[in-house]
Chains A and B, each alone.
Chain A
Amino acid sequence: MYLTEPLLTDVVKKQFLHKLKAYTGVFNSLLVMQLIGIILGFGTSSGGSSSGGTLTVNYSFLTGDVPVIFTLLWAFSMGILVTTLAYRNDAFSFVSNRLSHNISSFLFLLFASVIAGTLATLAGSIIKLISSFQSDPLFAETSGLFSSPADFFIMTSTSVLYTALFASMGYVVGSFIQRSKFVLPLLIAAIFVIPLLQLNMRGQDLIANSVAFFGTETSLLLFLLKIIVTISILFAISIGVTTKTEVRK
């Protein structure tokens, strides 16, 4: 019993603002990852050459896949990172508990996902722009900001949602790792073993089904709902896993 009982929302707000200032390394790594993604985006173009009679055709294909993939990898690793001891100790500079720490961390991850997802969508523009200044003609099959603003914002939203999903997955994995150090080797083993086992449930591949659950959705609203529900479940699991952890453990 205290004279002044701090409100959870106030604590979360303070912690969130603190994390924005303290976790700048997260954004440094985002920059590095996206820059690597952009550079590799040029290097991983496919293409070829065909020749017959008096006609020779040289063609190459570029995509914005690599910056997006690297952003998702970043999101997953950042999810894990914010659960590490050094980051957790930062959070307890304030009067706080495990719940407020989890909520503020999740809010921070969502905020970072919005920035990362938006930048991932824009990152393809650099690849497009530099390619368009090369001597070969460039044909872009894209949804531009001005030519098709609705599609552009849908792409940005999709990117943000996927980034948030990967960050949440990283966060729950990180929570398990913090709970027990045995989780990490098990997790690494699982990443390599599960695809080999081709786990089946009622004759259907579990991993393929999980990917299809999000990847084959055609309605953005339903997709949004699926992401919100999944993130909420992951968040609840994280809280459940870390609730019994000591405050500064």
Chain B
Amino acid sequence: MGAGATNIDHIVISSNDSAATAQLFSENFGFPIKRTMSRPGTRAHLEFAKLDEVVLEFAGPGEVKPYDEVKSRIGGLVLAVTDIDAAVAAVRAAGYECGEAHPAIQPGAKIATVKSGTGGVPFAFIQYNAIPQESPA
């Protein structure tokens, strides 16, 4: 039984200056930055661009020090699934560790992190529309 992935949802690019890396990618590759956010409580600064349907998430510290050199690397992969509980069960049935699905930053979405068997690749599943959202009054 597979995990039922439908597509790559996003790829994380980790950087010691996520804003600078996002800007460089935007300039060099023409990916417009769609959104920026600083995550409260995590001291992280995130910027998002789109490569066709795949989101590039540039993640870095909230406070940037005066680095000699901005360095980045591919920092993780998130696959979209239609049933995250089934995906978690499939990973566990295959003998690997997977955390429980929990609410993601994205409204209505749940995310679960695969914790073993990924060959050193930070790896997670995300399901959109997993949590009913209240419609605006």
Instruction: State yes or no: do A and B come from one complex.
Output: no
| Chain A residues near B (Cβ < 8 Å) | none
